[in-house]
Copies of this chain bind each other. A is one copy, B any other.
């Protein structure tokens, strides 16, 4: 068994991408980020990839709005296939993926979302949580299906919302947990320990013989 190859899709600064890169570099994640793709030409995520010696590709989205053009999305699929990725990790990717994409990589696309889903799907969710007045929020790593933030949940983390929290303060408290659980979710995937049953994701126990195998791989 070789290290899994990850393709990361990002539209912005890519702080979750950086967390994944760091986890790999520091040996906490036995995986390789094979390629980073962005629909935003000057996304800082692409700079982060280049700085880490990772292939960085900009794909012209060809249109504004919630989705890439069909042709652009096809090009993203081609790049991910070219790099033979085992897993696609969305990290602040601001487009909704079409059914063709989701089906092509079925069960192999993860997203991280800064709320305790199913509360607050969509955008600007830390502000929505503050406006609703919840006392706990958090983040969710889930498999991507054809809905928006509706796919089977892999890991969540809960954080308190404190009186006087601003959007920035709450976002940053949640972000620390995002970085932690995204690495953890990818690690479980890489270890073959995630089993989707209906919409529930079971985490299988660590296998002792695999732990031995890990050693011999290095």
Binding site for B on A (CB under 8 A): 116-120, 130-136, 138, 140, 152-158, 163, 198-203
CB-CB under 8 A for A163 and B202, given A116-B116, A118-B119 = yes
Chain B contacts for A120, CB-based, 8 A:
118
Chain B contacts for A157, CB-based, 8 A:
136
Chain B contacts for A201, CB-based, 8 A:
133
Shortest C-beta distance, A76 to chain B (Å), equals: 28
Shortest C-beta distance, A184 to chain B (Å), equals: 11
Shortest C-beta distance, A170 to chain B (Å), equals: 13
On whether the beta carbons of B134 and A153 are closer than 8 Å, the reply is yes
On whether the beta carbons of B133 and A153 are closer than 8 Å, the reply is yes
Give the distance in Å from the alpha carbon of A202 to the alpha carbon of B163 in the complex.
Answer: 6
Shortest C-beta distance, A134 to chain B (Å), equals: 6
Chain B contacts for A138, CB-based, 8 A:
136, 158
Give the distance in Å from the alpha carbon of A133 to the alpha carbon of B201 in the complex.
Answer: 7
Shortest C-beta distance, A20 to chain B (Å), equals: 20
